[in-house]
């Protein structure tokens, strides 16, 4: 790997870290808002589903941040292949390459 590529990768990772942190902040704020709401009984299921989905999204983003910190970010957790940057740009918390994701 040349120095240029190393610098580019470091900048790209720093950018992804910022994006994931912003995502975490957003989900945290949403959870605070959701916790402050007492839904109508008719909306209770939808409210629980939204809280669950938001918690899951927060966990996904948090785990992705941890993977950046320990150097596992961008590597498929099933086959060990590099996940293309284009995929991570669209789905920053992706844990699997496209092939493994579609096989799940
Ligand atoms: Zn894979």
Give pTM, 2 decimals.
0.87
Question: If you measure from the C-alpha of residue 102 to the centroid of ligand 1, how many angstroms do you get, rounded to a whole number?
Answer: 10
* Per-residue model confidence (pLDDT) at position 6: 87
Q: What count of other Cβ atoms lies within 10 Å of the Cβ of residue 90?
A: 9
pLDDT at 23: 98
Question: What is the spatial distance between Cα 31 and Cα 54, in angstroms, rounded to a whole number?
Answer: 7
Distance of CA 89 from the midpoint of ligand 1 (Å): 17
pLDDT of residue 3: 72
The tokens of 53 are what?
């989905």
CA 84 from centre of chain: 15
d(CA 77, CA 3): 27
Q: How much is the pLDDT for 31?
A: 98
As residues whose CB is below 5 A from the ion ligand 1, the structure lists: 76, 78-79, 81, 97, 100
pLDDT at 2: 58
Spell out the per-residue pLDDT of the chain, length 104, in tens. Answer: 557 778 898 999 999 999 999 999 999 999 999 999 999 999 999 999 999 999 999 999 999 999 999 999 999 999 999 999 999 999 999 999 999 999 87
**CA–CA dist 97, 86 (Å, integer):** 11
Give the SS3 label for residue 73: coil
pLDDT at 56: 98
Q: Which of 85, 19, 32, 24 is nearest to 60 (CA)?
A: 24
Residues 6+ apart with CB under 8 A from 51: 31, 34, 35
| pLDDT number for residue 60 | 97
């Amino acid at each position: 790997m040349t120095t240029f590529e190393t610098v580019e990768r470091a900048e790209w990772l720093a950018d992804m870290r910022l994006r994931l942190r912003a995502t975490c902040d957003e989900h945290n704020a949403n959870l605070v808002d959701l916790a402050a709401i007492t839904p109508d009984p008719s909306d209770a299921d939808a409210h629980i589903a939204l809280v669950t989905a938001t918690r899951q999204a927060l966990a996904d983003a948090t785990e992705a941040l941890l993977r950046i910190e320990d150097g596992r970010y961008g590597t498929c957790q099933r086959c060990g292949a590099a996940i293309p940057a284009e995929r991570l740009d669209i789905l920053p918390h992706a844990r699997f390459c496209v092939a493994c994701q579609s096989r799940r």
